[in-house]
Structure 1
Amino acid sequence: MASLRVHPDRLEIHLTPAERTLSLRRDDIVVQRENIRSVAITDDPWIWIRGIRAPGIEVPLVLAVGTWKFHGGKDFLAIKGKRQAVVIDLVDEEFARVVLSTSHAGDLIASLKI
Structure 2
Amino acid sequence: MASLRVHPDRLEIHLTKAEKTLSLRRDDIVVDRVNIRSVTITDDPWIWIRGIRAPGLELPLVLAVGTWKFHGGKDFLAIKRKRQAVVIDLVEEDFTRVILTTNHAPDLIASLKL
Q: Which TM-score tier does this pair reach, normalised by the shorter chain?
A: over 0.9
Distance 1:83 1:40 in 2: 14
Deviation at 1:91, TM superposition (A): 0.1
Deviation at 1:14, TM superposition (A): 0.1
Q: TM-score, normalised on structure 2?
A: 0.99
Name the SS for the 2:109 alignment partner: helix
Deviation at 1:98, TM superposition (A): 0.1
- How many residue pairs match? The answer is 114
Distance 1:9 1:88 in 2: 16
- Structure 1 portions without partners, runs of 5+: none
Paired letter, 1:69 = K
Distance 2:94 2:106 in 1: 24
Distance 1:113 1:49 in 2: 25
Runs of 4+ in 1 over 4 A off after TM superposition: none
Distance 1:55 1:64 in 2: 11
What RMSD over aligned residues (CA atoms) do the two structures have, in Å?
0.7
Paired letter, 1:55 = P
Paired letter, 2:81 = G
Name the SS for the 1:22 alignment partner: helix
The 5 A counterparts of 1:11-90 are 11-90=11-90
Q: Describe the superposition over 1:16-53 as per-residue Cα deviations: whole angstroms up to 9, x where unpaired.
A: 00000000000000000000000000000000000000
Name the SS for the 1:93 alignment partner: coil
Deviation at 1:10, TM superposition (A): 0.1
Identity %: 86
- Structure 2 portions without partners, runs of 5+: none
Distance 2:18 2:70 in 1: 24
Deviation at 1:96, TM superposition (A): 0.1
Deviation at 1:95, TM superposition (A): 0.1
Paired letter, 2:47 = I
Distance 2:40 2:51 in 1: 20
